[in-house]
Amino acid sequence: MAEQTQSGFVSHLIELRNRLMKALLTILLFFIALVYFANDIYSFVAAPLVAHLPSTATMIATDVTAPFFAPFKLTLFVALFASIPLILHQIWGFIAPGLYQHEKRMLMPILASSIILFYGGIAFCYFIVLPIILGFFTSAGPEMMTLAPDISSYLSFALKLFFAFGVAFEIPVAIMLLCWSGATTTQSLKEKRPYIVVGVFVVAMFLTPPDVLSQSLLALPMLVLFEIGLILATFYTAKPEQHESKE
């Protein structure tokens, strides 16, 4: 019996290793396919900033290696973001055999929604938040100032915002999982709404640059998503365990 348990544990470790290798290989393949377009990808990401620069201003590189490493780093992150659906597929393939059929039916929509919401958060940041923030910052300085943003600094700024909004848009998924697992209920969350509102602004303060505009542009969508999560969570309330066999 002990030998069978040990053999099962080892087989799970081997499967986990294989799936991790497939996930890393996916990222590598995406990176190889995209690295040729690294400069074009950076130009696309920098477009919201360039659109607000004066006609005589340009972006600069304060480090001699930055013109190479900044697009290279961005391409790696793009490859990671593009690989997320396939990475989650590997995760699902690892945990699905241990789930009941009704659990699979409940979790599959959540898994798909998490991918859509993550990309939706990044798109919201790029098309709406960045133009507003950059338009404000580039017009707020004194007239005698010459604006020349560093490409590495802007990349760090943009990636931080992309990640913050991508994660923040997962709030409905988090709420549904908490309610489905029985860790909390929609009624309990509604009663704690005032504390959650304060907590959302505190989280936004840590996830965004230190300015009120960025924090508000993240906190307000988070509050809207929280309310959406409460509505959707009514379909994912904890129920008595159903006696179904695992497949």
DSSP the chain: -HHHHHHHHHHHHHHHHHHHHHHHHHHHHHHHHHGGGHHHHHHHHHHHHHTTS-TT---B-SSTTHHHHHHHHHHHHHHHHHHHHHHHHHHHHHHGGGSBHHHHHHHHHHHHHHHHHHHHHHHHIIIIIHHHHHHHHHHHS-TTPPP--BHHHHHHHHHHHHHHHHHHTTHHHHHHHHHHHTS--HHHHHHTHHHHHHHHHHHHHHHS-SSHHHHHHHHHHHHHHHHHHHHHHGGG---PPP---B-
Q: Are 207 and 164 in contact (CB under 8 A)?
A: yes
Residue 244 domain flag: no
d(CA 234, CA 180): 9
**Average pLDDT score over residue span 145-155:** 86
Residue 54 domain flag: yes
Tens digits of per-residue pLDDT, 46-56? Answer: 999 999 887 77
For the ranges 85-89, 181-185, 211-215, the one whose mean pLDDT is highest: 85-89
Give residue 96's pLDDT: 79
Residue 243 domain flag: no
Residue 241 domain flag: no
Residue 242 domain flag: no
d(CA 225, CA 219): 10
Task: Name residues whose C-beta falls within 8 Å of residue 48's C-beta, 6 or more positions apart in sequence.
Answer: 126, 130, 131, 134
Residue 103 domain flag: yes
Instruction: Give the total number of structural domains in the chain.
Output: 1
Give residue 4's pLDDT: 56
Residue 57 amino acid letter: A
What rounded mean pLDDT belongs to the chain?
85
Q: Is the pLDDT of residue 243 over 50?
A: no
* Per-residue confidence band for 247, with pLDDT thresholds at 50, 70 and 90: very low
* Per-residue confidence band for 143, with pLDDT thresholds at 50, 70 and 90: low
Give residue 37's pLDDT: 95
**Average pLDDT score over residue span 176-197:** 87
Residue 245 domain flag: no
**Average pLDDT score over residue span 116-145:** 85
Residue 144 domain flag: no
Alpha-carbon distance values, 210 to 135, 205, 213, 242 (Å):
16, 7, 9, 48
d(CA 19, CA 26): 10
Tens digits of per-residue pLDDT, 45-90? Answer: 999 999 988 777 788 988 889 999 999 999 999 999 999 999 988 8
Top-confidence residue, 100 or 186: 186
Q: Are 161 and 208 in contact (CB under 8 A)?
A: yes
Rg (CA), the chain: 22
Task: Tell me the whole-structure pTM to 2 decimals.
Answer: 0.85
For the ranges 49-58, 122-131, 145-154, 179-188, the one whose mean pLDDT is highest: 122-131
- Domain assignment of residue 30, given as a range: 2-139+149-236
Alpha-carbon distance values, 163 to 3, 62, 169, 179, 230 (Å):
44, 25, 10, 25, 23
